[in-house]
Structure 1
Amino acid sequence: MAWALLILGGVFEVGFTTCLRFVDGFRNLPWTAGFLVSVTLSMGLLEVASRSIPMGTAYAVWGGIGAIGTVLVGIMFFGEASAPIRVILIFGIVACIAGLKLVS
């Protein structure tokens, strides 16, 4: 259950980084509200998951999910570059996250 909560927290991390793109100095209230809700849920789920998963592992997985998800959102929705080296490096992050899960 802790791993599922951690993954969900990582998804909300992608949500808050995506919202952050549109908050406009926290003047855009709907995006600011989305950011605040997402960051609260993301951090809360990380905290709950880290009760069962070692904190270093939980943080690395949470951050990795957020990083991968944010890069993918950038590529798919905001026209960011998808050069082969970026894709290879993303797979490297995925491999490291899977490795942490296997040794935890």
Structure 2
Amino acid sequence: MAWVYLLVAALFEIGWAVGLKYSQGFTKFWPSVLTIAAMVLSLFFLAVAVRSIPVGTGYAIWTGIGAVGTATLGIILFAEPVTAWRVGCLLLILCGVVGLKIAAP
């Protein structure tokens, strides 16, 4: 169940990272409220997950999924550039996340 909590935490991390763009520096009320709520939920689920998963593994996977998901949504939602370098680096992060999951006890 800890891995499910970690995935939920990572999804909320993606949500708050993207929410930062919509909140426009916390100047828009509802996007700011939703962003802060996603931050709290993300950290809560991460804390629950690392009760059972090694903290280094959990944190690295949380940030890796968050980074890949946020960068992907940046491309989709905000027309951020898609280059071979960006895609290659995102794939390397994804490989690292999968490797950490495989290596976890």
Q: TM-score range by the shorter chain?
A: over 0.9
Matched, 1:6 2:22: no
Q: CA deviation at 1:49?
A: 0.2
Q: Distance in 2 between matches of 1:20 and 1:78?
A: 13
Amino acid at match of 1:36: I
Q: CA deviation at 1:13?
A: 0.4
1:6-50 deviation line (CA, Å, top 9, x unaligned): 011101001001111122332211101111110011000000000
TM-score normalized with structure 1 length? 0.96
Q: Distance in 2 between matches of 1:73 and 1:26?
A: 20
Q: CA deviation at 1:85?
A: 1.4
How many residues are matched? 104
Aligned residue number for residue 43 of structure 1 = 43
Identity score, percent: 38
Q: Distance in 1 between matches of 2:87 and 2:6?
A: 23
Aligned residue number for residue 94 of structure 1 = 94
Structure 1 unaligned segments of length 5 or more: list them.
Answer: none
Q: Distance in 2 between matches of 1:100 and 1:94?
A: 10
Q: CA deviation at 1:66?
A: 0.6
